Structure 1
């Protein structure tokens, strides 16, 4: 894993990103060569001038593929799913290239060439991914993990790795028992004690040792042996750090309070606040200008279907636990909560109007929150604000829940692009684990990553209810 501005990025994704950018640039050169096959002198003249066009095409297409989630390697390789994402990625890229040609005519290289280049790019990317899938299935890049512990934390970690498709590149070679610890993992997975940990690491070709022990204060905890492993180049991590690094989560069920206190991150300095506020204001003005026609049409549709009010004001909890009134386009009937008690949103919620179902699916109902951002009540990116009723309910049931209120809530967030719409306490726990990651590691770089991923959520309607 590479770490950029506190955010962990898979080195595999970076490698794939780089290779495909090169494939896209080659597609431009090869497409031009094919277009001028019968006029080699024209190709020779254009060859030296193609780099700006090739570079722009590669950047636009890679960004489009990123926006469609093609570099979120969270699931097992599937060529069919890749093709289904590649096609809309190229369509999105074509639209963006049209805008580039409009604003920078010097980069235009003709419709005939563009058609050939797009076809070559599709074939090249698909073949690249096919090789990558084959490489992944062979287990060449698979990391071998040895888990220290056999108790509840170790069992939980083993279950999470086994059931999480995003962790297919890891293989648990076995668990190492500690003196006095209960064996809750399958007996067949417990490795026989064979001297020091380093000897077991060498025997089983282990690349990382995960510490999954509930009590590290007893005399049987092998701190010196773990240090020896680390000094010999073996990664040593605990379960919380592993999941933060690999899944973009901070799991509350495998977390020590001291890890939050003494760990890195949670930086809320004045420079970060100034940069974030400047980013919020700029992004909000741009989005308001870009979506104003959509907002007008939405307002008209709501009024025609169900009359006034068009906007819906609802109390939410913001930074520091202070409440504010969030603005949304009304997507439900006026009597949606006639009993006076807040309710979780549900899939195919019968309270939504016909227009409401569409705008919730496309997240258009959230657009009026741009004004909350401009007022300083919200950020563009951050944990989604929740209603006071649910905050009280969840704070009583979920440890560290109020930690998410240490920064401003956002229109979109890490939990929104990584998890489905929350509609239960269980969903709230899952989303909190992503929110904790954002609170700990938030940066301008991560904000940009989230905004790019939000495009996928909007275009594909992921998680809307």
Structure 2
């Protein structure tokens, strides 16, 4: 794993992203300089500008299409679908970008658009082929030294379950620490990346020796958090919030997040205004009742606020006002409401909550007071998610499907607390890019 601004990223996927970005830059630059036709050739300066912009956009588009997700890489149908979506998005962005970067040229130069797309496809294909070959040769794997109390247990346990995919475990008994077998030379020869051991198994002097050798020292829980990008609420210490980024945000950090929320919400609202008008008219025609749905939710530090959505259910969907989990093929959902929920159009009015300051663009999903009270009694640290503003999208929303049970709420809390613990603008950017994937492929909607 590689830590970027506090967020752990799989090293092999980071290498893939960097390789693709570099390969796309070189391919697009070559096509832009030499061109596929005389009118499509650029000078070196313009070609470099176009190549940099396209390479950066290509990485974002590939990520937004879900093509950096490990489970997608092994599913051919999903890979093809993601590739088609990525190509379509790149086509649109390339045409728009060329008009902005080179306004003096013919804005409809399909030769240049084709050259850029060809460079992207060629660069991505070459990078993925190279990374796939390197992965099969073991060049992108990370080796973990897992220290256990007894040799008899070295072949199983939660540590072994947590180190699949690109992490290769090396099991050794805890006694090897004191008998001098774990020398710096041996650790380097084995290409050990991190040492995993129970907190009480290692002395502070031993931990420092491992750190001086350039190794990370992790507990089994920390290994799970690094690899899975979520925490286990039941295993969090009572004082974990003392080091959580979400709980330690400075005034400047809060101000910066607020400014970015206002700018993003305003831009999205203006860009989607035609969708608002169309949705409002169709909701009115589809079923009797108001256009907007108002509901009390729990926000920052437990404060209640009124959340706005386009109405997607029939009027009086909850008889007596008792909260109910939404289910798959819920009969309360209208015909138009089902489409709006799949495409997340019903959540657009939450932009008004962002502008009012009730919500942020990114954060835990705001829940209803009844659910918060119920879940807070049975799930440890559930109320800790309220230390940051709730968001329209969030780390749990892009990593776990719609929750409809206590166990689902427990899993989503594991992602929410990871976000609270490691909150940063970099993680927010990853969430926003992943949200595009969730919307395009209708993941987890009900």
Which TM-score applies when normalising by structure 2? 0.88
Structure 2 counterpart of 1:131: 130
Could you tell me how far apart the structure 2 residues matched to 1:261 and 1:45 are?
54
Q: Classify 1:375/1:177 alpha carbon distance in 2 versus 1 (closer, same or farther; 3 Å).
A: same
**1:244–1:250 contact (8 Å) kept in structure 2:** yes
**2:58–2:120 contact (8 Å) kept in structure 1:** no
Structure 2 counterpart of 1:155: 157
- Selected match of 2:208 from 216, 221, 227: 227
Could you tell me how far apart the structure 1 residues matched to 2:139 and 2:29 are?
32
1:369-394 superposed Cα distances (whole Å, 9 cap, x missing partner): 11111111111111110011111111
> How does 1:246-325 map onto structure 2 within 5 Å?
246-261=227-242, 266-325=247-306
Q: How many residues align?
A: 437
1:201-227 superposed Cα distances (whole Å, 9 cap, x missing partner): 7496643211245xx3xxx65444343
- Of the structure 1 ranges 127-136 and 375-384, higher mean CA displacement relative to structure 2 is found in 127-136
- Selected match of 1:416 from 397, 400, 403: 397
- Of the structure 1 ranges 61-70 and 3-12, higher mean CA displacement relative to structure 2 is found in 3-12
Structure 1 counterpart of 2:22: 22
- Selected match of 2:50 from 44, 50, 53: 53
1:219-276 superposed Cα distances (whole Å, 9 cap, x missing partner): x654443433333233211233333333322222443334443566632211111111
1:409-450 superposed Cα distances (whole Å, 9 cap, x missing partner): 111111111221111111111111111121122223322222
Q: Classify 1:257/1:197 alpha carbon distance in 2 versus 1 (closer, same or farther; 3 Å).
A: farther
1:318 Cα deviation from its structure 2 partner: 0.7
Secondary structure at the aligned position of 1:416 is classed as: helix
Q: Classify 1:265/1:295 alpha carbon distance in 2 versus 1 (closer, same or farther; 3 Å).
A: closer
Structure 2 counterpart of 1:35: 36
Alignment gaps of 5+ in structure 2: none
Could you tell me how far apart the structure 2 residues matched to 1:243 and 1:98 are?
43
**1:385–1:410 contact (8 Å) kept in structure 2:** yes
Could you tell me how far apart the structure 1 residues matched to 2:8 and 2:195 are?
19
Could you tell me how far apart the structure 2 residues matched to 1:361 and 1:372 are?
21
1:289 Cα deviation from its structure 2 partner: 0.5
Could you tell me how far apart the structure 1 residues matched to 2:431 and 2:400 are?
12
1:195 aligned onto 2:216: no
Structure 1 counterpart of 2:377: 396
Structure 1 counterpart of 2:339: 358
Could you tell me how far apart the structure 2 residues matched to 1:397 and 1:384 are?
18
Which TM-score applies when normalising by structure 1? 0.84
Secondary structure at the aligned position of 1:396 is classed as: helix
**2:144–2:195 contact (8 Å) kept in structure 1:** yes
Alignment gaps of 5+ in structure 1: 162-166, 179-191
Could you tell me how far apart the structure 2 residues matched to 1:383 and 1:423 are?
16
